[in-house]
Structure 1
Amino acid sequence: MTPLLAVEDLVRHYRLPRERLLAPAPVLHALDGVSFTLEAGRTLGIVGESGSGKSTLARLVMALEPPTAGRVLLQGQDLQALPPAALRRARAQFQMVFQDPYGSLDPRQTVARIVGEPLEALPGAGRAERRERAAEMLDAVGLRTADLDKYPHEFSGGQRQRIAIARALVTRPRLIVADEPVSALDVSVQAQVLNLMQDLQQRYGLAYLFVSHDLAVVDLVCDEVAVMHQGRIVEQGSPDRLFTRPGHPYTQRLLASVLR
């Protein structure tokens, strides 16, 4: 059976500025042969320290930039092989929730415009339908229809992240890439948003690729965890196994640093 998401030998290199005029440009190996699969309705956590390649992986899965090598397959379809118009239509099936709930929302737009914007890529979605779907998604994330005509600055951080989740849901995707979705929130608000995401997963059959540095959060919401170090996945398994019997020395150090 074809998995919902398959990442195959993904590589991403960046050329850095030359240190001297005639010196060769140094190369940063952000990803170096990353592979995994994610089944529909499941949550895979990606953990690791800053600079391990987690956010680069999220951008490549979202087709926001091309890989140096390797493929990202969504329902068996190579996203980078799609022409721009086809990729734009395919984005209805995979959406993203960013870390900063204020920076990811346009402060000049109303909530109705923000949440309904992804529908503009779909054929036949008129203004009335976009507003109706936006209202439906606001209700799903615990906000009110009256909030449609407000602006992002009128909401708390947790409410803004709910708006961002509503925007990701409005196309009824099968996959959501969540890049540190609660790290900018207070601890009490984090729990509310995580519970919401789990409820939405059950209601809509969502799969999450959940990027985080917080092992406690990953332990709570993920079915499986992949540990990244220097652009590679060094260990992968269930949270119970990984966090109680880590096999790789880097995973052991990562857990020990949290305990300290």
Structure 2
Amino acid sequence: MHTASPHAPLLQVDQLVQRYTLPRESLFRAAPVVDALKGVSLTMTAGRNLGIVGESGSGKSTLARLVMALETPTAGTVHIAGQNVHALGAAALRRARSGFQMVFQDPQASLDPRMPVWRSVAEPLAALQAVGKAAQRDAVSRVLAEVGLSAIDGNKYPHEFSGGQRQRIAIARALITKPRLIVADEPVSALDVSVQAQVLNLMSELQQRHGVTFLFISHDLAVISHLCDDLVVMRAGQVVEAGRTAEVLRAPREAYTRELLAAVA
């Protein structure tokens, strides 16, 4: 049973640490250790999209995996709608996942090429709920229409679509369980600039229509500024700056943020 406070933040990350032990290079030396996250904390409010920006290796994708409970943190906690997701048992976590879903960077890799689109989109429903095939097909038809595709498209295979259409399919799959939070990890970086704008506009429309909130991860400040109300800048596994997106972009306090802005100027 869900007992979270209605006033709890949508996402609360407290002192998150993730340390990876790499393979030994020598029998006579200790295995090298990499600190991917070094005490990251952030709060996200329902209805306010949060952007996470930073260069490659800053820890953005590691943070996304921990928020989604795809990995277990070395230390720290992740609460979604008041629930500590890493303290849930397997069955409880599976049920909780209906409330938070993910869109990955490469839709080509995240969609099974041997599976018709309707089955890929229905996967979260099949995994989370006892829903029959007919009800799954109806739900898929509705959500495909939401992202600008048709029910007939559900019978096609991923290779029959463009990159932008495949990302729409991935968004439909994330949306089908009616989540409150969608984690989008570089969801437009593999797309042409004109298609990027279409996908970003779609995400904005879906937020207005369904009340879903996006945690949007990108290396591109221009993309973040299009969609996100609040901004967190990461570097080397740490938060170096945070605030309202417009304010951070207008008057960044940190030299690293100014470097990122200069790169897109």
For residue 28 of structure 2, what is the amino acid of its counterpart?
L
1:24-35 paired onto structure 2 within 5 Å: 24-35=30-41
Q: Residue in 1 aligned with 2:224? A: 218
Q: CA deviation at 1:19?
A: 2.4
For residue 252 of structure 2, what is the amino acid of its counterpart?
P
Is this contact kept in 1: 2:222–2:264, CA < 8 A? no
Q: Distance in 2 between matches of 1:29 and 1:102?
A: 30
**1:92 aligned to 2:98?**
yes
Q: Residue in 1 aligned with 2:62? A: 56
Is this contact kept in 1: 2:19–2:35, CA < 8 A? yes
**1:74 aligned to 2:80?**
yes
The correspondence for 1:8, drawn from 8, 14, 20, is: 14
SS at match of 2:23: coil
**1:179 aligned to 2:190?**
no
Q: Distance in 2 between matches of 1:194 and 1:258?
A: 18
Q: Distance in 1 between matches of 2:259 and 2:176?
A: 40
CA deviation map 1:174-227 (0-9, x unaligned): 000000000000111011000000000010001110000111010111000000
Q: Residue in 2 aligned with 1:257? A: 263
CA deviation map 1:44-85 (0-9, x unaligned): 000000000000000000000000000010111110111101
Q: Residue in 2 aligned with 1:108? A: 114
The correspondence for 1:22, drawn from 28, 33, 41, is: 28
SS at match of 2:108: coil
Q: Distance in 1 between matches of 2:201 and 2:263?
A: 26
1:41 to 1:147, Cα distance in 2 relative to 1, 3 A? same
Q: CA deviation at 1:20?
A: 1.8
Aligned residues: 259
Q: Distance in 2 between matches of 1:249 and 1:92?
A: 39
The correspondence for 2:242, drawn from 236, 239, 252, is: 236
1:130-209 paired onto structure 2 within 5 Å: 130-209=136-215
TM-score (norm 1): 0.98
Q: Distance in 2 between matches of 1:250 and 1:188?
A: 28
Q: CA deviation at 1:256?
A: 2.3
Kindly report structure 1 stretches of 4+ aligned residues shifted beyond 4 Å. none
Q: Percent identity?
A: 64
1:254 to 1:123, Cα distance in 2 relative to 1, 3 A? closer
Q: Distance in 2 between matches of 1:253 and 1:217?
A: 16
Greater shift after overlay, 158-167 or 15-24? 15-24
The correspondence for 1:129, drawn from 130, 135, 144, is: 135
Q: Distance in 1 between matches of 2:128 and 2:164?
A: 29
Q: Distance in 1 between matches of 2:130 and 2:114?
A: 25
Greater shift after overlay, 29-38 or 115-124? 115-124
RMSD, aligned α-carbons: 0.9
The correspondence for 1:41, drawn from 47, 53, 72, is: 47
Q: CA deviation at 1:121?
A: 2.4
SS at match of 1:102: helix
Q: Distance in 2 between matches of 1:83 and 1:206?
A: 25
Greater shift after overlay, 100-109 or 248-257? 248-257
Task: Specify every segment of 5 or more residues in structure 1 that has no aligned partner in the other structure, as ranges.
Answer: none
For residue 132 of structure 2, what is the amino acid of its counterpart?
G
TM-score (norm 2): 0.96
Is this contact kept in 2: 1:89–1:121, CA < 8 A? no
